[in-house]
Structure 1
Amino acid sequence: MKGSRLPALLVGLTAALTLAACGVPPSDVIQAGEPASGMRSPSPKPSVPTVIPLYFLHNGDLTPYPRKIGDLEDFRAVVRLLFGGPTTSEAVTATTELPRLTDTPDVLIGSDHTFSIQLPKDVPPLSHLAMRQLACTVTHVALPLAAQPADADRDGAPAAPSVDAQRSPHTSVQVLGDGWTMTQSDGSCPDRS
């Protein structure tokens, strides 16, 4: 038993001498502010819903239907909402000429205020009214856009933004299908003259 204690005692003494010889003098607790808590990333800006008009048809006429959107710069989301058609409550008065899509179209915006929308394969050419729905909707989200917070009217429905606050330079939409291309300007929109 004595033989097994001696090596353990020598190891402990060696460790104590090594720690004492490292040159760090003993000290008391040093107060230096808050304890470390790790790195914090900046908080993302909360998204403020904005009301935009989606153009559907009411008795065959283009009519804006207000919708809330979280990220006004997400043009793909706007186009996806439009191709999604009227909601159940909107369908009481609204119809659409746009087909239901299985995939979200790609959307590119040129410096000349031209929106290029690449539709999925096998979508037939759009009607004139469908092109006008697209052109009038993207007119209201084209840069520069005066974003307005979503307010509710007396019925709790989102209030439509004023047309003048939403105006942008003239916009055109180019829709690219599978073997076809169509272009429509916003000049034929009800609130553009």
Structure 2
Amino acid sequence: MRGSRVAALLGGLTAALTLAACGVPPSDVIQAGEPASGMFSPSAKPQVPTVIPFYFLHNGDLTPYPRKIGNPQDFVTVVRLLFDGPTTSEAATATSKLPRLADTPDVTIERDHTVSIQLPKGVPPLSRLAMRQLACTVAHVTLPSPALPADANRDGAPAAPPANAPRLRSRTNVHVLGDGWTMTQSDSSCPDTPRP
């Protein structure tokens, strides 16, 4: 027992001498402000939720049902939510001609602003009303802004897309690819809806 106390005292003395020999002076607690909370980029701005009309059928007529979307450029989420059908509150008055999908469709934007949607295997051809639901809804999604040069900001990062980024307007085409079939629909037959 006595040997372990002596060993502990010698260990403490050795540590104190080592610190003193290195020139590290003793100090009190140093206050250094708030604790670290992660990386922050002053040029990054959070996405502002945007209201986008989702087109469903009300008494057989194509009708917009506004919904808030976190990222107004997220075509994949908008298309997936449209295929999921009306929400519980919308279902009181809305129906859909779009089938429910087991998997999320692949969505790409072509240079001519055509939105191509590749459906999972086994989905039958869509009705004309279903195609209009797609075309009218995606016409309200914001187009991704073209990449800006790296010197657009002082810190060398590309500038954020402008708040008034172009949306898909008239002459938007939706091209749907199914299992052995394709269909194309323009938004030219969409009902007039005030845009946000």
1:143 and 1:168 in contact (8 A); partners too? no
CA deviations on 1:28-70 (whole Å, 9 max, x unpaired) are 5596x51684462238865543221111122322111112222
What's the secondary structure of 1:136's corresponding residue?
helix
Residue 80, structure 1, aligned to residue 85, structure 2: no
Q: Give the aligned partner of residue 65 of structure 2.
A: 65
**Tell me, which stretches of 5 or more residues in structure 1 are unaligned?**
146-164
CA apart distance, 1:95: 2.0
What's the secondary structure of 2:131's corresponding residue?
helix
Structure 2: distance between partners of 1:97 and 1:174: 17
Structure 1 or 2, whichever has the larger Rg, is 1
Q: TM-score, normalised by structure 1?
A: 0.68
Q: Give the aligned partner of residue 19 of structure 1.
A: 18
User: RMSD between aligned alpha carbons?
Assistant: 3.7
Q: Give the aligned partner of residue 56 of structure 1.
A: 56
Structure 1: distance between partners of 2:128 and 2:79: 17
Structure 1: distance between partners of 2:16 and 2:66: 78
Q: Give the aligned partner of residue 40 of structure 1.
A: 38
**Tell me, which stretches of 5 or more residues in structure 2 are unaligned?**
146-165
Change (3 A) 1:121 1:16: closer
Structure 2: distance between partners of 1:25 and 1:182: 76
2:118 and 2:176 in contact (8 A); partners too? yes
What's the secondary structure of 2:56's corresponding residue?
strand
Change (3 A) 1:42 1:178: same
CA apart distance, 1:25: 6.1
What's the secondary structure of 1:143's corresponding residue?
coil
Q: Give the aligned partner of residue 183 of structure 2.
A: 182
Q: Give the aligned partner of residue 154 of structure 1.
A: none
2:96 and 2:130 in contact (8 A); partners too? yes
Structure 1: distance between partners of 2:50 and 2:105: 22
CA deviations on 1:127-173 (whole Å, 9 max, x unpaired) are 1111111000000114279xxxxxxxxxxxxxxxxxxx966353111
Matched letter for residue 19 of structure 1: T
Matched letter for residue 180 of structure 1: W
State, as a whole percentage, how many aligned pairs show the same letter.
63
What's the secondary structure of 1:73's corresponding residue?
coil
Structure 2: distance between partners of 1:34 and 1:190: 60
2:48 and 2:70 in contact (8 A); partners too? yes
1:113 and 1:169 in contact (8 A); partners too? no
CA deviations on 1:65-111 (whole Å, 9 max, x unpaired) are 11222222222111111111223332333222111111111111123
2:76 and 2:106 in contact (8 A); partners too? yes
